[in-house]
Chains A and B, each alone.
Chain A
Amino acid sequence: MAQRISMAHGEGGELTHELIKNVFMKYFHNQTHARLDAAILPWNSNEIVMTTDSYVVKPIFFPGGDIGKLAITGTVNDLAVSGAKPVAITAGFIIEEGFSIRDLKEIVKSMALEAEHAGVQIIAGDTKVVERGSADGVFINTTGIGQLFEQRLEPDAITEGDTVIISGPVGEHGVAIMSARKELGLITDMTSDCASLHHFIEEVVTNVKGVRVMRDPTRGGLATTLVELCEDFRFDLELEESWIPVPDAVHGACDILGFDPLYLANEGKVVFIVEAEQAKKMMEVIKSHPLGASAQVIGRVKSCDNASGKLYLKTPIGTTRRLFRLSGMLLPRIC
């Protein structure tokens, strides 16, 4: 087999076949679904949840993961925070001519491994090869299909006093990616928090009532994610800055680079908004799971009626300021 991707790998002929057989099928091995051009799935349509996302992370391999793992966890988590159990994923690859097949195998292997951990099947895929220079190594698009959990979310029931919980410290993925680029002269051994969250989320959601809504604070970080949530569901939220867990390495990196940890990407965290009475129970359940061991209550819903969808941050000195979407700061492209 060839060592590197050539334009011919994308032509649909023998080499494409070889690539599919030796790389994709070898690791994704799905006999039942991958025989037709499209996969036939067995459910009732009102239970189905679907999402899609493309991954263009640079560098492709970083401490704690790689683009393949990210492509699976990202899609799994999008489904999970929408209240669904991920069932099947499709994967589309856009590969730059000259890309190493060894690296591709690494990526595909880690996708397969992550999918197995997550208990989802990779059921269909696509490969395109583009000329050298028209892509950056490899891009992956994943589409995921999931089935709603029995326990439904209740975003419309959000009320004043509802509690905001984050499952762990923020900014790790962002800093891991930045230091993996070695461009920053940053020496940290921070690894990405990149992880599939749905087993964890399912456990939380089935054991605690009153989960209103969830999001995974990926690109744009915790602040942007919460601003969007506030706007989407029209409530005002207030965070306590000193309650938000930020690792020292993230702090340090942000100090040097002038970034704000609240705007750094996370790939293995989830924010929950939960009915106030359930918050204590919820924290117990979350903390008993390894992915939620350092969870924290970080704020509360300030108002709902006539709210205009604003996010506030109470600083340690007792002032309150408004948080906006990530704007203007030039963050390196991270996902």
Chain B
Amino acid sequence: MNKLDLFSDHHLVRQSLAAVIEIAEAFKLEKGRMPVLMEVCGSHTMAFARSGIKQRLMDHVKLIAGPGCPVCVTDQKSIDAMIQLADEPDTILCTFGDMMRVPGSASTLMKAKTEGKDIRVVYSPLESVKIAQQHPDKEVIFLGIGFETTIPILALAIREAEKMELHNFTIWMTTKLVEPVLRELLDAGEVKVDGFLLPGHVSVVLGKTSYDFLMKEYQVPGVISGFEPVQLLTGMYKLIDLLHNQKVDILNDYTHVVKEHGNAVARELLHTYFEFGDEAWRGMNVIPKSGLVLKDQYARFDAKKKFNVAVKEPRKVKCRCGEIIRGLINPEECVLFNKGCTPVHPIGPCMVSSEGTCAAHYQYMREE
């Protein structure tokens, strides 16, 4: 049996599930309510829905999807700006696929592409550097969205562009950091969570210690978890076990990839090219120092400095993505869910992104 089989193995999954239910029930007996856990990562949200774990645990654990999807947390104004960027003359806009159908106030990148704008889906920012090299007569702009997982690759792209002495490559930085948004959520106190299931990939870069603030400053425990059903369940078990025993700790349940202090090389890369910057989050206003922006000495790679896009105030829509990513409502509570808003005709990013909460509910938790 290989590792993948092991993680999704039948019996193991069922055993772990039974264990989670047992400990959740014990918690319930004591507290008179279900434990409330937030999964921060969008891939966890998807995996919970896809595996059926969320549906199965409905009566035992309250699972709330947090602000972990990089597409969903992108502010509407940023999205409008990105779409507008495509209007710049002689540009090639490169983006991750998920952004293509995200609705801006008036258009989408997909629509702009069908109107003849040169917009290309790439799987890595490094590809866009190559494109810039092949098209010296064009401006190549990469739409840099993402969390700590993606940002090191953005840094790599800049390093490449630097080496190649490219003058036609820039990144439109609108990256997000996990810590500031968790602080924001906890400080706002709108959503009450007992503990966090912490994202696997982000932690590879950051390391376990980066979450110490949760336990030290907020007395909230967390467990770093992998993505396979068994991993999700053992992560949950450990988290509820902490809660049940009234222990506040940060545990690493993804030890074969996440190290105590993360990936020093990746962090070093980040610090070479970027510094903290204020970022606007969907539904949450600007959170100070919640993103990374290019340092001044790399301004030539900064699309925000090179191109002047003025965007109007975004059009107001009934989309409740802002509340979704703050963990305040379930997708089904949005009147547009599966009515005006579907993956084919999305109103908000949460329905288009492959890590979006509404998309997860639409794809995996809907009956009709």
Contact = CB atoms under 8 A, between A and B. Distances in A.
A257 B319 CA distance: 27
B343 interface: yes
B293 interface: no
B124 interface: yes
B2 A258 contact: no
Contact of A316 (B8, B100, B359, B365): B8
Contacts of B359: 328
Contacts of A184: 123-124
A316 B352 contact: no
Interface string A235-265: 0000000100000100110010111100000
Contacts of A251: 4
A328 B4 contact: no
B308 to A, nearest CB: 30
Contacts of B101: 328, 330
B354 A258 contact: yes
Given A248-B2, A330-B100, A318 B355 contact: no
A278 interface: no
A187 to B, nearest CB: 13
B52 A242 contact: no
A321 B362 CA distance: 11
B52 A321 contact: yes
Contacts of B55: 319, 321
Nearest to A258: B354
B366 A322 contact: yes
Given A251-B4, A316-B13, A260 B50 contact: yes
Interface residues of B, number: 42
B10 interface: yes
A319 B52 CA distance: 6
A328 B342 contact: yes
Nearest to A185: B124
A232 B163 CA distance: 57
A332 to B, nearest CB: 7
Contacts of A40: none
B343 A329 contact: yes
B97 A330 contact: yes
A248 B8 CA distance: 12
A64 B221 CA distance: 50
B51 A329 contact: no
B56 A328 contact: no
Interface string A183-210: 1110000000000000000000000000
Nearest to B56: A319
Say what secondary structure dominates the interface of chain A: loop
A307 B101 CA distance: 34
A1 interface: no
A22 interface: no
Most buried by B among A248, A255, A328: A328
Interface string A167-184: 000000000000000011
B168 interface: no
Contact of B123 (A183, A319, A324): A183
Interface string B333-352: 00000000011101000011
Nearest to B120: A183
A58 to B, nearest CB: 12
Q: Which of A257, A316, A329 has the most CB of B within 10 A?
A: A316
B8 to A, nearest CB: 6
Interface of B: 2, 4, 8-10, 13-14, 17, 43, 46, 50-53, 55-56, 97-98, 100-101, 121-124, 127, 227, 229, 342-344, 346, 351-352, 354-355, 359, 362-367
13 contacts: A242-B10, A258-B355, A317-B17, A318-B52, A319-B55, A320-B52, A321-B52, A327-B343, A328-B351, A328-B352, A330-B97, A330-B100, A332-B121
Interface of A: 183-185, 242, 248, 251-252, 255, 257-260, 315-322, 324, 327-330, 332
Given A259-B354, A321-B364, 5 more contacts: A183-B127, A258-B43, A316-B13, A318-B56, A327-B363
The 6 A-B residue pairs with the shortest CB-CB distance in the complex, in nearest-first order: A328-B343, A319-B52, A315-B52, A258-B354, A330-B97, A183-B123
